[in-house]
């Protein structure tokens, strides 16, 4: 999702969405149990069960010049395919200092939600796409290949360091191609949708009454899936436009769907308040007053004033 809608930055965004990095080869293998030490791991030993924080025994400073991927434990679940939404625990170590740099297990084992798509950082891609759920996959790489020329100072990883990434694939959710459910009558307060084939390209405010300052939401298509719960990671396509605006200030239909946790403050309050309880497959229309959007300051980067009411169409494609 665009940072225009986020309240907080995403720590792993440079890792997961580093589309400008050069693709690297991989060397995959499996020993079928819960420990591994191989040539691709340069003497590093990884022990522990999938779903629990790994124990890592380093064999001195990690010195690598290319990216290598090793299946430490091979799971027996579904194979991850393009377009899936993967729930994964991630552990990252600095190969120069042999210290942990980041771990989702430090956050109570709450996995990251990762879209399995061509947008994945090439270093990360082989650890996700084509692997089976229940697997533990390790990647050794240079910091420059993993994070870009600057490394990742936020994690204490310099651009000349090396990294060890361990990915535990916990579950997978199939992402819908579009809304799936029963069409509903649009409410009188809602703008019309401008579409190109199956993509929403804008909102038409002709004849739409002025906003009344209230937070509003309605399903244009009532999804046939489960209800979205607070704290779940949801995957959506969306488009946002201010009332009577001539063009959208943000949208995802022309690119990849967005994924984020809902109901926990990662997005504007109006989304948290209206999308929790909606069903997967729904196409929602939202009217969000400033108090539930960006407040009196607005968002100058997006051209949103503090008095603007935001209108969104949101397609809920998955929840996990």
Q: Which residue has the tokens 């694939």?
A: 169
Which pLDDT belongs to residue 225? Answer: 95
Could you read off the pLDDT of 233-266 as tens digits, one per residue? Answer: 899 999 999 999 999 999 999 988 888 889 999 9
Which pLDDT belongs to residue 198? Answer: 87
Q: Give the dihedral of Cα atoms 136, 115, 1, 50; nearest 10 deg.
A: -20
- Can you tell me the distance from the alpha carbon of 270 to that of 105, in angstroms, rounded to the nearest whole number? 30
Which pLDDT belongs to residue 135? Answer: 97
Same structural domain for residues 166 and 185? no
- Can you tell me the distance from the alpha carbon of 257 to that of 315, in angstroms, rounded to the nearest whole number? 9
Which pLDDT belongs to residue 272? Answer: 97
Same structural domain for residues 237 and 135? no
Same structural domain for residues 205 and 157? no
Structure tokens belonging to residue 46: 């990884």
Give the domain CATH number at 315. Answer: 3.10.50.40
Structure tokens belonging to residue 184: 């509903």
Same structural domain for residues 165 and 198? no
Q: Is the confidence at residue 24, as pLDDT, over 90?
A: no
Same structural domain for residues 128 and 196? no
Work out how many domains the chain is built from and give that number: 2
**pLDDT band, very low/low/confident/very high, at 274 (cuts 50, 70, 90):** very high
**pLDDT band, very low/low/confident/very high, at 14 (cuts 50, 70, 90):** very low
Same structural domain for residues 290 and 313? yes
Same structural domain for residues 210 and 311? yes
Which pLDDT belongs to residue 5? Answer: 52
Which pLDDT belongs to residue 67? Answer: 94
Q: Is the confidence at residue 122, as pLDDT, over 90?
A: no
Q: Is residue 6 part of a domain?
A: no
Q: Mean pLDDT, to the nearest integer, of 66-74?
A: 95
Q: Which residue has the tokens 């310099």?
A: 158
Q: Is residue 166 part of a domain?
A: yes
> Which DSSP string corresponds to 32-72?
SSSEE--GGGTT-EEES-TTSPPEEE--SS---SS-EEEEE
Q: Is residue 45 part of a domain?
A: yes
Full domain range(s) for residue 113: 13-173
Supply the mean pLDDT for the chain.
87
Same structural domain for residues 156 and 76? yes
Q: Is the confidence at residue 9, as pLDDT, over 70?
A: no
Same structural domain for residues 144 and 266? no
Q: How far is CA 278 from CA 126, 189, 283, in A?
A: 34, 19, 9
Same structural domain for residues 153 and 55? yes
Could you read off the pLDDT of 132-189 as tens digits, one per residue? Answer: 999 999 999 999 999 999 999 999 999 999 999 999 999 998 889 999 999 999 999 9
Domain boundary among 113, 142, 173: 173
Same structural domain for residues 133 and 205? no
Domain boundary among 173, 190, 220: 173
Q: Looking at the whole model, is its pTM more than 0.95?
A: no
Q: Is the confidence at residue 33, as pLDDT, over 80?
A: no
Which pLDDT belongs to residue 16? Answer: 41
Could you read off the pLDDT of 189-240 as tens digits, one per residue? Answer: 999 999 998 899 999 999 999 999 999 999 999 999 999 999 998 999 999 9
Q: Is residue 3 part of a domain?
A: no
- Can you tell me the distance from the alpha carbon of 156 to that of 163, in angstroms, rounded to the nearest whole number? 11
- Can you tell me the distance from the alpha carbon of 298 to that of 290, in angstroms, rounded to the nearest whole number? 7
Q: Mean pLDDT, to the nearest integer, of 117-143?
A: 91
Q: Is residue 280 part of a domain?
A: yes
Q: Is residue 19 part of a domain?
A: yes
- Can you tell me the distance from the alpha carbon of 66 to that of 123, in angstroms, rounded to the nearest whole number? 10
- Can you tell me the distance from the alpha carbon of 120 to that of 146, in angstroms, rounded to the nearest whole number? 11
Q: Is residue 1 part of a domain?
A: no
Same structural domain for residues 203 and 162? no
């Amino acid at each position: 999702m665009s940072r225009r809608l986020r309240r907080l930055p995403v720590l792993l965004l440079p890792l997961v969405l580093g589309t400008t990095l050069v693709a690297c080869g991989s060397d995959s293998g499996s020993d079928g149990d819960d420990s591994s030490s191989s040539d691709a791991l340069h003497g590093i030993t990884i022990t522990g069960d999938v779903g629990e924080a790994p124990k890592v025994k380093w064999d001195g400073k990690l010195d690598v010049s290319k990216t290598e991927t090793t299946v430490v434990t091979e799971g027996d679940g579904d194979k991850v395919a393009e377009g899936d939404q993967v729930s994964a625990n991630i552990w990252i170590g600095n190969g120069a200092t042999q210290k942990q740099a980041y771990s989702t297990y430090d956050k109570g084992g709450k996995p990251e939600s990762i879209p399995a798509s061509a947008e994945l950082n090439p270093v990360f891609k082989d650890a996700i796409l084509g692997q089976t759920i229940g697997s533990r996959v390790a990647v050794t790489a240079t910091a420059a290949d993993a994070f870009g020329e600057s490394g990742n100072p936020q994690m204490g990883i310099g651009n000349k360091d090396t990294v060890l990434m361990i990915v535990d694939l916990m579950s997978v959710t199939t992402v819908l191609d579009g809304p799936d459910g029963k069409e509903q009558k649009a409410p009188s307060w809602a703008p019309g949708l401008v579409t190109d084939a199956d993509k929403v390209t804008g909102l038409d405010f002709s004849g739409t009454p002025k906003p009344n300052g209230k937070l509003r939401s309605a399903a244009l298509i009532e999804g046939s899936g489960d209800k979205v719960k607070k704290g779940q990671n949801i995957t959506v396509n969306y488009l946002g436009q201010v009332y009577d605006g001539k063009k959208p200030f943000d949208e995802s239909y022309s690119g990849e769907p967005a994924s984020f946790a809902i109901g926990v403050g990662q997005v504007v309050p109006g989304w948290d308040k209206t999308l929790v309880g909606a069903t997967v497959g729904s196409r929602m229309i939202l009217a969000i007053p400033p108090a539930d959007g960006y407040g009196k300051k607005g968002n100058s980067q997006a051209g949103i004033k503090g008095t603007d009411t935001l209108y969104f169409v949101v397609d809920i494609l998955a929840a996990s």
